[in-house]
Amino acid sequence: MEKILVGLKRVVDYNVRVRVKSDGSDVETDGVKMSINPFDEIALEEALRIKERGEASEVIVISVGTVDAQQQLRTGLAMGADRAILVESNSPVDPLGLARTFKSIIDRDDIDLVILGKQAIDDDNSQTAQMLSAIWGRPQATFASKFDVAGNKATVTREVDAGLEVIEIDLPAVVSTDLRMNEPRYVKLPDIMKARKKPLELIAISDLGIDQGPEIKSLMFEPPLERERGVMVDDVAGLVAALKEKGLA
C-alpha cells in the first residue's frame, strides 16, 4: 500500500458552547475556536500509525471548504501527514458533493486507502464514507475501532449495535473511524515549525469538473429548548402523580 488519504473537516471546537446567530441564519463562528473534527483526528492518527509500521509510504490530508481550513490542514501536517490538499469552496458542500470531490482526488493521486471520521460533530450526517465507497466501487468498513493490514487485505473490528463485528475487506477501500480506535497524538512546537515547509496544494472545486450534486440548504437554525427543572418527589405515589400530571402515565 502506497498512499492513504484522510479527510479533515474544520468545525467549532468540541469544548466550545455552540451559539446560534441572532437572525437564525447559522451558528456563530466569529471569534470562536475552530478545530479538526475529533473523529477526523482519530482517522489521521490511525493513518500515521499505519505508515509508521511500514505499511504505507505517504499520508495525505484533504479538506473541502474556505481558505480558513488551511489552519486545520497545517495541524494535520504537524501531526505527521506528508502533504495537504485544500479544495476551495465558499459555499457548503453536502456529503454527496464531498464524496465526488474525494473520488476525483483518489483518481488523480492513485490512492490505496481512504480513512474518514465516522461523522462530523457539526452536522452528524455520517454519510460521506458510505457514499464514497459506492461511487468508487470499493469495499467499506464503517465505525471501525481496530484496523490491521495484511498485504492487499485488511481486518477491521466494527462498532455495531450488538457489540463488535470483525470483517475482512480487500484494498483499496474506505474506512470510517469510531471514537475508540485510538488516542490522537499531541502536536509539538518543532512539528508545527516543520509543517510550514510541507506542501499544501490549493484547488478550486470548480476546477475538478465534478457534479456537486443537489445542495442541502439550511433554512433556519434554532437553539435547543432549555431543559425543564426536575421535580422532587417523596415516594412512588408522588412519582406516579407527577407523571400523570404531565400526561405520561
In 103-213, DSSP assigns E strands to: 113-117, 140-150, 153-160, 163-170, 173-177, 200-204
- Tens of pLDDT along 97-148? 899 999 999 999 999 999 999 999 988 889 999 999 999 999 999 999 999 9
Q: What is the CATH number of the domain that holds 192?
A: 3.40.50.620
Q: Count the domains in the chain.
A: 1
Q: Structure pTM?
A: 0.85
Q: Residue 171 and residue 94: Cα distance in Å, rounded?
A: 26
**DSSP code of 247?**
T
User: Residue 19 belongs to what domain range?
Assistant: 3-245
- Coil, strand or helix at 59: strand
Q: Please state, in angstroms and as integers, the Cα–Cα distance from residue 202 to each residue in 14, 82, 138, 146, 184, following that order.
A: 27, 15, 27, 32, 26
In sign, the C-alpha dihedral spanning 201, 204, 73, 142 is: negative
State the pLDDT confidence band at 213, using cuts at 50, 70 and 90: low
